């Protein structure tokens, strides 16, 4: 205990990065996803670094998510909950910090500073007019006009433009189209850090992680009886767990019992990464087990284990097809993306992310 306090002493008195009422709002939005009334779009860097946080970097990722969300909203006729995957990891998967949940004090303090800077920039952009829907549509039109697949995407882009023109002609109050709700998430790897920033809500006394609105556990730390899941079970934030091709229906039930014992919509989201070749075989049993149990969780596709763009798209297609066949809701996407014109490793660059949005929109369009 003394060692943990030595590592995190300054953080235990640091201001919270997010607030309980914001986490409750996201939980309400994710409850709509679980009920089939909304989609979740979660995206950002796959592996954060301690390079200086820049306005340009945050702006690019937010721009990409906003552009994708407009396309998916129009195609699905559902609101899209936008959650950034930003400023959270700072420890490579499989490292000692990753698996033990500990890190040195300097590392934790630098992480806090990077998260604070990212959150401040994201909030300013989301609420400062940057998210204006007309501007976002103009960016999408520029993308469609320059895209080799522009003819395929033009119909949807034209529909969005006509909708905005109709609203203007009707004299609709579009002032709220200039701002957007935007939430921040990360993988809860470093338990010392998360515990140091856990605070009781002054209204209820319930503990909240104040490092982000939503925390998740990846496969490598997501054992139902492990320390990371135990931590997530004790906070009131919405939480998520990644399910891989080896996940069994019994594991799904164990996660439900530990993380969502009251079966509350919005509390738990399952993020599925099974591979394009396995998704149609793996997913049905997991969904059917949860449905039979009476659980109301969000189901989200993470196709980023694929090596090629066509495999990414095929995994999402399989994910949507499985849910259609079961009569359940394909609740959205969890993506690794840069927002830049280029990407390294299994991440989508700006153009690929928008390509994916327009192509996935075709999968959702017939549903409504």
The two most distant CA atoms of the chain are separated, in Å, by: 65
CATH topology of domain 2-131+179-367: TIM Barrel (3.20.20)
What pLDDT is attached to residue 248? Answer: 97
pLDDT, mean of residues 219-239: 97
Q: Is 273 annotated as a binding residue?
A: yes
Q: Is 22 annotated as a binding residue?
A: no
Instruction: Flag whether pLDDT at 1 surpasses 50.
Output: no
CA nearest neighbour of 123 among 212, 196, 20, 190: 212
107 CB neighbour count, 10 Å cutoff? 18
Domain ranges of the chain: 2-131+179-367
Q: Is 59 annotated as a binding residue?
A: no
Higher-confidence residue of 175 and 336: namely: 336
pLDDT digits (tens, 9 = 90+) for 56-69: 999 999 999 999 99
From CA 255, how far away is CA 223, in angstroms rounded? Answer: 9
Residue with tokens 């982000």, as numbered in its chain: 212
| Least confident piece of the model among 41-50, 205-214, 248-257 | 41-50
pLDDT, mean of residues 206-222: 96
Task: Write the DSSP assignment of 6-75 as a string of letters.
Answer: HHHTTGGGSPPSS-HHHHHHHHHHHHHHHTTS-EEEEEE-SS--SSPP-HHHHHHHHHHHHHHHHHHHHH
What pLDDT is attached to residue 306? Answer: 78
State the pLDDT confidence band at 368, using cuts at 50, 70 and 90.
Answer: very low
pLDDT, mean of residues 270-297: 98
Higher-confidence residue of 127 and 316: namely: 316
pLDDT, mean of residues 37-49: 86
pLDDT digits (tens, 9 = 90+) for 92-139: 544 544 444 555 678 889 889 999 999 999 999 988 888 888 889 999
CA nearest neighbour of 28 among 81, 72, 66, 64: 81
pLDDT digits (tens, 9 = 90+) for 135-165: 899 999 999 999 999 999 999 999 999 998 9
What pLDDT is attached to residue 86? Answer: 80
pLDDT digits (tens, 9 = 90+) for 250-266: 999 999 999 999 999 99
Q: What is the mean pLDDT of the chain?
A: 90
Q: What would the two tokens of residue 361 be?
A: 């929109």
Q: Is 82 annotated as a binding residue?
A: no
DSSP state, residue 178: G
């Amino acid at each position: 205990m003394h060692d943990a306090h030595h590592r995190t002493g300054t953080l235990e008195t640091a201001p919270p990065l997010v607030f309980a009422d914001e986490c409750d709002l996201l939980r309400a939005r994710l409850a709509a996803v679980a009920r089939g009334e909304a989609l979740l779009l979660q995206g950002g860097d796959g592996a954060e670094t301690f390079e200086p946080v820049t306005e340009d970097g945050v702006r690019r990722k937010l721009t990409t998510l906003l552009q994708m969300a407009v396309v998916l909203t129009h195609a699905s006729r559902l609101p899209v909950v936008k959650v950034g995957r930003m400023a959270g990891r700072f420890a490579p998967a499989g490292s000692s910090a990753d698996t033990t949940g500990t890190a040195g004090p300097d590392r934790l303090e630098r992480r806090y500073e990077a998260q604070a800077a990212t959150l401040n920039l994201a909030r300013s952009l989301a609420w400062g007019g940057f998210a204006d829907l007309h501007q976002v549509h103009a960016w999408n039109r520029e993308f469609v006009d320059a895209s080799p697949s522009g003819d395929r995407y033009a119909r949807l882009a034209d529909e969005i433009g006509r909708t905005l023109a109709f609203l203007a002609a009707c004299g609709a109050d579009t002032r709220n189209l200039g701002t957007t709700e935007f939430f921040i998430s990360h993988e809860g790897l470093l338990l010392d850090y998360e515990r140091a920033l856990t605070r009781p809500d002054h209204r209820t006394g319930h503990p909240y992680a104040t490092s982000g609105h939503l925390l998740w556990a990846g496969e490598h730390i997501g054992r139902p009886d492990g320390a990371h899941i135990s931590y997530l079970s004790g906070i009131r934030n919405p939480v998520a767990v990644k399910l891989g091709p080896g996940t069994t229906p019994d594991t799904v039930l164990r996660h439900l019992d530990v993380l969502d014992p009251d079966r509350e919509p919005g509390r738990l989201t399952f993020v599925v990464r099974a591979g394009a070749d396995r998704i149609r075989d793996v997913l049905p049993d997991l969904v059917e087990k949860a449905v039979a149990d009476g659980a109301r969780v969000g189901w989200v596709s993470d196709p980023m284990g694929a090596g090629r763009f066509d495999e990414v798209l095929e995994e999402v297609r399989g994910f949507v097809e499985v849910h259609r066949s079961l009569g359940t809701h394909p609740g959205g996407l969890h993506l690794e993306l840069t927002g830049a014109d280029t990407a390294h490793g299994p991440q989508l660059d700006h153009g690929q992310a928008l390509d994916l949005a327009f192509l996935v929109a075709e999968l959702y369009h017939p549903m409504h």
